[in-house]
């Protein structure tokens, strides 16, 4: 396995200098997700306003892949309509579950295309998805609250 296809420069940059890190107010929902096999942990908050993801903030402990993934995700989703954000989420999920066979779409995923190589390392797919799963969970909870 080619190490460089996993550890793209973009991933290492986001790992060293994560964007939007730290927990911020206001938020409607906060979730805590863990990867039970390796112990990676993430606390994530979502703030929605007028159907827009107006903030995603997080506190993450984990490997380069999981940390960089949270940073790239926050870049991508903050400022998007919830519907569009959900569709980006779906596109990223398909890329990760594609076993390296899916051609990533840079227009949709931006820096997220750097994770295409991760899909070839089954043990690391969960690392890349930790923050995305947490975001989906927190967003669903925020929407529930809105309705109530």
Partner 1 sequence: MSIPGLLPELEVIRKDFPILERVLDGGRPLVYLDSANTSQKPQVVIDTMVDHLEHHNANVARAMHQLGAESSEAFEAARDKVAAFIKAPSRDEVIFTKNATEALNLVANTLAWRGDLQVGEGDEVVITEMEHHSNIVPWQLLTERTGATLRWFGLTDDGRLDLSDIDELITERTKVVSLAWVSNMLGTINPVREIADRAHQVGAIVVVDASQAAPQLPVDVVASGADVLVFTGHKVVGPTGIGVLWGRREVLEALPPFHGGGEMIETVRMERSTYAGIPHKFEAGTPPIVEAVGLGAAVDYLGHVGMDAIHAHEQAITAYALEGLRTVPGLTVMGPLDAASRGGAISFEITGVHPHDVAQVLDSRGIAVRAGHHCAKPAHARFGVQSSTRMSSYLYTTPAEIDALVDGLNYTRSYFKLGE
Residues from 64 through 93 that contact partner 1 (CB under 8 A):
64-65, 67
Assess 40 for contact with partner 1 (CB under 8 A).
yes
Give the nearest distance from C-beta 47 to partner 1 in angstroms.
Answer: 27
Assess 1 for contact with partner 1 (CB under 8 A).
yes
For partner 1, the closer of residues 29 and 42 by Cβ is 42
Assess 43 for contact with partner 1 (CB under 8 A).
no
End-to-end CA distance of the chain: 49
Binding residue count for partner 1, defined by CB under 8 A:
19
Assess 49 for contact with partner 1 (CB under 8 A).
no
Assess 39 for contact with partner 1 (CB under 8 A).
yes
What residue ranges bind partner 1 (CB under 8 A)? Answer: 1, 3, 6-7, 12, 37-41, 61-65, 67, 121, 124, 127
């Amino acid at each position: 396995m080619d190490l460089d296809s996993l550890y793209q420069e973009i991933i290492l940059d986001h790992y060293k200098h994560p964007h939007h890190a730290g927990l911020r107010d206001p938020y409607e929902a906060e979730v805590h997700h863990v990867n039970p096999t390796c112990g990676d942990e993430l606390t994530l908050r979502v703030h929605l306003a007028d159907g827009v993801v107006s903030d995603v903030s997080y506190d993450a402990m984990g490997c380069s892949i999981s940390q960089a993934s949270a940073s790239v995700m926050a870049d991508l989703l903050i400022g998007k309509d919830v519907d569009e954000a959900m569709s980006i989420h779906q596109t990223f999920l398909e890329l990760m579950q594609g076993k390296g066979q899916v051609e990533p779409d840079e227009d949709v995923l931006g820096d997220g295309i750097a994770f295409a190589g991760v899909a070839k390392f089954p043990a690391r797919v969960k690392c890349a998805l930790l923050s995305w799963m947490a975001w989906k969970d927190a967003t669903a909870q925020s929407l529930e609250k809105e309705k109530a």
